[in-house]
Amino acid sequence: MAVNSSTDYAQATEEDHHEIPLRNGIHGEQDAAARHAAMRLATTMAVPAALKAAIELGVFEILAKECGPRKSLTAKEIASQVLQPDSGGLSVLNDRYLERILRLLASENVVSESVVTVASGNSSCSNSSTERCYALQPVGAYFVRGDEDAASLAPLLVMLQDRDFLKPWHHLSATVLDDSTESFRKAHGESVFEYMSHNPRLERIFNASMAHHSRLYMQAVLRAYHGFQDVKCLVDVGGGKGSSLAIITAKYPHIRGINYDLIHVAAASPAYPGIARS
């Protein structure tokens, strides 16, 4: 169809819209909901990427420290407290980019977003403006990084979004077609543990994520499960840094724990009372 004017273009667009075949006979709101869900799947990588950026910038710690039930911060206020890596001081950040990250996280209820009216500083001027403020939500609290004994999902998110752990996902379809080699080996030429044995950066990220994840869920397990009461000796195969055993034996000090892992992993694990490394 030839388009000679804006009116013709509008008509052509409308006609083209009606020519699009319906998917499985779905109409109206049902089709709109399916399209919305499909779009979320197509763009879902943006959410963990935004989370990783917020973690790296220390946004969750800033919100946890500064915000209370009646206080929230603007993107500019948050940006003013972000430390520049290796500079030892505060940096000037692009708060407009930070605002985009915060708004995306607000759409996932990681942070809350509110719009407040700001009066003009000029008493003779009645103009006012609005700005967006952000505070930590319960979901976002799980991404606050604390001390070594704190339980946070931030290290797990950082690990899963690390370039070395993302690369195997690009070999997933190839692994379905040829399962003689797992995806990680296809991507890196060796298993994940072989790769980490000479990649201390990735090993640190992996160990931190496992330790925090273990603390978070083992505490919940012990609240619901009481089967360790009669256990005398407990071996954690692949126990990493021994976090899970340490939590169990702290509650049940009569248990003799054995943290069984690769030699270099067990050797680098902390010493816990009642736990032998093997």
Tens digits of pLDDT across the chain (278 residues): 444 444 443 454 444 444 455 566 666 778 888 889 999 999 999 999 999 999 999 999 999 987 766 689 999 999 988 877 655 555 567 889 999 999 999 999 999 999 988 766 555 555 668 899 999 999 999 999 976 666 899 999 999 999 999 999 999 999 999 999 999 999 999 999 899 989 999 999 998 898 888 888 888 899 999 999 999 999 999 888 888 999 999 999 999 999 998 887 877 788 888 888 87
Q: List CB contacts of 112: < 8 A, sequence separation 6 or more.
A: 72, 106, 134, 135, 136, 137
Take residue 44 and report the two structure tokens written for it. 């879902």
Q: What is the pLDDT of residue 220?
A: 87
- 10 Å Cβ neighbour count for 202? 19
Sheet strands (E) in the chain: 73-74, 111-119, 128-136, 233-237, 256-260, 275-277
On whether both 173 and 61 belong to a single domain, the answer is: no
Domain count, the chain: 3
On whether both 83 and 181 belong to a single domain, the answer is: no
Last residue of a domain, one of 111, 141, 171: 141
**3-class secondary structure, 195:** helix
On whether both 186 and 273 belong to a single domain, the answer is: yes
The amino acid at residue 236 is: D
On whether both 168 and 120 belong to a single domain, the answer is: no
On whether both 125 and 159 belong to a single domain, the answer is: no
In a domain, 189, yes or no: yes
In a domain, 146, yes or no: no
Q: What is the CATH number of the domain that holds 233?
A: 3.40.50.150
On whether both 242 and 203 belong to a single domain, the answer is: yes
Cα–Cα dist 158/97, whole Å: 20
On whether both 60 and 161 belong to a single domain, the answer is: no
On whether both 115 and 185 belong to a single domain, the answer is: no
- Are the CB atoms for 200 and 234 separated by under 8 Å? no
Q: What is the pLDDT of residue 78?
A: 93
On whether both 180 and 135 belong to a single domain, the answer is: no
On whether both 178 and 254 belong to a single domain, the answer is: yes
Q: Which long-range contacts (CB under 8 A, 24 or more apart) does 112-121 make?
A: 112/72, 112/136, 112/137, 114/72
Last residue of a domain, one of 109, 141, 173: 141
Q: What is the CATH number of the domain that holds 125?
A: 1.10.10.10
On whether both 117 and 221 belong to a single domain, the answer is: no
Q: Where in the sequence is the domain holding 18, given as residue range(s)?
A: 6-42
Q: What is the pLDDT of residue 249?
A: 93
On whether both 86 and 188 belong to a single domain, the answer is: no
Q: List CB contacts of 211: < 8 A, sequence separation 6 or more.
A: 148, 155, 240, 241, 243
**pTM for this entry:** 0.79
